[in-house]
Amino acid sequence: MPARTLIDRRDEFQRALAAWYRQHARRLPWREAPSLYKTVVSEFMLQQTQVRTVLPYFARWLDALPDFSALAAAPEARVLKLWEGLGYYSRARNLHRLARAVVALPAPPRTPEAWRELPGIGPYTAAAITSISFGAPAACVDGNVVRILARLTADSTGFRDSASASKAFAALAAALLPPKNPGDHNQAMMELGATVCFRQNPACTVCPVLDFCAARLTGAPEDFPKLAPKKIEQRAVTRVWCEHGGRLLLHRAASHARRLADLHELPEPAALGLEADALAADGSTLLATGKRGITRYQITEKIHAARLTPALQRRIAAEPDSLRWIPLDQLDTVTLSGPHRRWVTEILAKRKKTEPSAASRGSAP
């Protein structure tokens, strides 16, 4: 019974982990002069996103919106712009709504249950925020913790997804949580997962809790946890590059759209009343091919140039909210999805290199 052994040696395990964490904790910006606001912002950004990716966004965000009041008072366009490229944009919208809810309260909630009522707060984030900021006895169960607990106990259960795995390890995580400094314990567990107990090639030789690990005895710690692989689906999308008078045509998703609400992307043919096939058959120039991935989709996007016809012009005039002409020198003022920001930048840079005169047309003295 590895699980029983681990719980029996709980105090010893906690001490070994805590001693390691004191010595090896990374210096991260949300750990310097920690505050509730920094903790909340970092936890939102870190949902499904690695520390390395978050770092520049976090710095920029704190600089622009230093506290709940500033965030609550900010227009949503500014919030989205600061989130541009980080992905999963509902996180930004939820964080914004959360800030407005928090400043409307006499004081921020202090329990996981109360935080769960706020937008964007699930079991993990509620436990992280309240244990770190208020010392609440709530155990975090994220991907790191699942991996560590599955290995400590050599649990060979086949989980269909990460949600069910988290649920399965919630009780053990709670049993291992010390009453003192639960926030540090939670962070130590995740730190161990991120810097030692890697998904592949775990650094067992430097693990502070190797002595408690049942998977080590099996000789194949990377076999745990057993998670069902997800199958990838390929998709193909055509995009339209329509430029006229130094302006680029972009499509803005509606505020209530399920995806990319209020964000801009290069329009799909359908949004312009065009047929994708006709566009390609028309012999229009293929400007670029890009790939993007999201969850189980691998999407290939072909960006075709299209001329501004009278019919297209009418269509654009009829949809002023979603089809917008953005001057090329003002593209920075709108928020694009990460991939489209990249591709638009690349296309413009390439053209500027091959035809320097075209890029400066109209703005030359």
Partner DNA sequence: AAGTCGGGGAG
Partner DNA sequence: CTCCCAGACTT
The catalytic residue positions are: 43
184 is a site residue for DNA (CB under 7 A): no
One residue of 4, 27, 291, 361 binding DNA per CB under 7 A: 291
130 is a site residue for DNA (CB under 7 A): no
3-state secondary structure of 292: strand
Place of tokens 């920029």: 60
Smallest separation (angstroms) from DNA to the CB of 188:
9
- What residues numbered 250-269 form the site for DNA, per CB under 7 A? 258-261, 263
345 is a site residue for DNA (CB under 7 A): no
Looking at residue 204, the DSSP 8-state letter turns out to be G
Residues composing the chain: 365
Binding segment for DNA among 81-89, 304-312, 323-331, 343-351 (CB under 7 A)?
A: 81-89
Binding segment for DNA among 38-46, 280-288, 313-321, 327-335 (CB under 7 A)?
A: 38-46
Distance CA 102, CA 318 (A): 40
| Nearest to DNA of 95, 245 (CB atom) | 95
Identify the sign of the CA torsion 78, 79, 80, 83: positive
Check: CB of residue 57 under 8 Å from CB of residue 79.
no
Smallest separation (angstroms) from DNA to the CB of 358:
28
314 is a site residue for DNA (CB under 7 A): no
28 is a site residue for DNA (CB under 7 A): yes
Distance CA 52, CA 47 (A): 13
Check: CB of residue 329 under 8 Å from CB of residue 264.
no
Q: Rounded to whole angstroms, what are the CA distances from 287 to 137, 307, 346, 361?
A: 55, 13, 10, 20
Residues that bind DNA (CB under 7 A): 28, 30, 42-43, 46-53, 85-90, 94, 119-126, 128, 142-144, 147, 160-164, 187, 190-191, 193-194, 199-200, 235, 237, 258-261, 263, 291-299, 337-339
